[in-house]
Amino acid sequence: MYCYLNGDIIPTEQGSLQLNDLSLLRGYGMFDYFRTYNGVPFEFDSYWQRFTKSAAMMRLPVAISKTDAEAILAELYQRVQQPDIAYRFILTGGYSPDSVSMIQPNLIIKAENLPKDNPEGRTRGIKVMPFEFVRDMPEIKTTNYLHMIRLAHEMQAQGAADLMYHKDGLVSELTRSNFFIFKGNTLVTPNANILHGITRRVVLELAEEAFAVEIRPLHVQELAEATEAFTTSSTKWVMPIVQIGRQKIGDGKPGKNSLRLLERFDEKVAGYGK
């Protein structure tokens, strides 16, 4: 694999950063992640807009333009020579002379193999573990995944694939993906304290063709009324959730509405870029 690092495209294993980078010293960094379908970066305009908006919120300048980024992606794709790959943009706080001051961020764009993010879960469903927490600046994909990593052993012991964040009686998101429930044929998804996922937006557009859609505060007690639940992300697509903690959702199997949205999303990406 190859990566772009501050102006150069190099083999990923040759990439390195100095030890006074703020991402290491203070955990100050952000990223974004997306993939190709049929060799074409999926919804890149939206990902680039989110990445640059997030960088501005963190007061980290982006040293390249969108046109530059598109050229870098094309060069990485040509070097990797695989049908489809993932891209990870990383913007660190940069090297700091006093371990506090930001001088110049480091920009990394990695080409990566597509992960096998539990593809069986799309047909079998997954369990998630409720956890009382709201991310700081949830609209940004920061590099801080403290709780996901800290609680990995507990999740494994409970057979859970992820954490479901909630706070003050409201559900927000999973650690790396957005959250939805169906109440009959009405789709409900939280509107606050979330990352506004690109896959989330696409799935909402698909859902509006067939279902009533409510984007609003989602109360924890409503989970008991859910007939279906699912999560969305670049790698999960539409992943049914069949259990939250000890509570089964519906009949404990992926629901027909969730599977319908998964089928519609599959159809969309199958022809993407053609």
Report the pLDDT averaged over residues 207-211.
Answer: 95
Residues 141 and 220 occupy one common structural domain: yes
Q: Rounded to two decimals, what is the model's pTM?
A: 0.93
> Each residue of 173-191: pLDDT tens digit?
999 999 999 999 999 999 9
Give residue-wise pLDDT tens across range 77-86.
999 989 999 9
Domain boundary pick from 75, 95, 112: 112
> Which amino acid is located at 87 in the chain?
Y
Q: Are residues 108 and 167 in the same domain?
A: no
Q: Report the C-alpha gap between 6 and 15 in whole angstroms.
A: 10
Instruction: State the angle between helix axes of 44-57 and 198-207 in degrees (0 to 180), rounded to the nearest 10.
Output: 130
Number of domains in the chain: 2
| CATH code (residue 30) | 3.30.470.10
For the chain, percent of residues with pLDDT exceeding 90: 95
pLDDT score of 158 more than 90 = yes
Do 136 and 250 fall within a single domain?
Answer: yes
The domain spanning residue 253 has which CATH number?
A: 3.20.10.10
> What is the structure's pLDDT at 129?
97
pLDDT in tens, 232-260: 999 999 999 999 999 999 999 999 999 99
Residue ranges making up the domain that contains 258:
121-270
Query: Which amino acid, residue 179?
Result: F
**Of 65, 84, 112, which residue sits at a domain end?**
112
CA distance 112 to 87: 6
Check whether 274 has a pLDDT greater than 80.
no
End position of a domain, from candidates 80, 112, 144: 112
pLDDT at 186: 98
Q: 171-184 as b/e, with b when 16 or more CB fall inside 10 Å?
A: bbbbbbbbbbbbee
Residue with the larger pLDDT of the pair 227 and 274: 227
